Amino acid sequence: MSDKTRFDQLADAAERYGGYSLDNYAVIRSVAENLATGFCRFLGAEGKACVHLVPPQGAWSPQPHRSGAFSVSGSGFLPLGPISFGLAVRVSRTGDWTRLVLTCTKKGHHVEVAIAEGPVFDIGLPLETADLDTVFQRLHDHLIRWFEDQADLYENGDYGGRSIGFDLIHAEEDVS
C-alpha cells in the first residue's frame, strides 16, 4: 500500500506530464528556429531577412514573434501534443511575404512536420544530424508549386475558387 495521498499521486502524474510537455515544446521550438534561419540561408536572400517565425493563425507581420509564434503561446498549463507555428517567407523583391503554417509532432526519435495544405515529412533527431536541406527543398517546392498552380488556374480561367491558400501581405519598409 502506498503512503502517498491521492493528491500526491495526481500531482506526480501532472509533474510527469509537465516535464514531457516542456521537452516537446523545446524540441519543436528548436526545429522551428532551425527551419527559419536555415531556410533563409537556403533561399540565398543575400543579407536580407527573408524568413521569420510568426503565429500560425490570426494577425501577423513579417518580423520575429519569438514565443508568440507557437500555437501554445499564452496557454497556462503547457499542453502535450502537436504544436503549430508559421514561417513568414519573403516571396518578392518588393516586400511581399506569405505565411506558411507548419504543425510538428514529436514521435520518438523524429519530428513529423505537416505543411498546411501540403505534404508531411519527418526530421530525424537529434537535430544536429538531420538533413535539413531536404526539408528546405520541400518547403521551396511547396511554395513554388502553389504560386504556379494559382497562375495556371488564372491562365485557364478557373481561379474563382473559395480556397484560402496562403496569407500574402506587403511590408512597406524593409524588415530585415
What gap in Å lies between CA 31 and CA 20, rounded to an integer? Answer: 17
Q: What is the pLDDT of residue 16?
A: 95
In a domain, 35, yes or no: yes
Burial class (CB in 10 A: 0-12, 13-18, 19+), 132: middle
Percent of the chain with pLDDT over 90: 72
Residue 15 identity (one-letter amino acid): E
In a domain, 176, yes or no: no
Tell me the per-residue pLDDT of 3-36, one tens digit each, with 9 for 90 and over.
Answer: 899 999 999 999 999 999 999 999 999 999 999 9
What cell was used for 90? Answer: 519573403
Specify the number of domains making up the chain: 1
Q: What is the mean pLDDT of residues 95-119?
A: 95
Residue-number span of the structural domain to which 25 is assigned:
6-170
Do 103 and 114 meet the contact criterion of CB atoms below 8 Å apart? yes
In a domain, 40, yes or no: yes
In a domain, 73, yes or no: yes
Residue 164 pLDDT grade (very low, low, confident, very high; cuts 50, 70, 90): very low
Tell me the per-residue pLDDT of 125-151, one tens digit each, with 9 for 90 and over.
Answer: 999 989 999 999 999 999 999 999 888
In a domain, 23, yes or no: yes
Q: What angle do CA 44, 122, 133 make, to 5 degrees?
A: 20
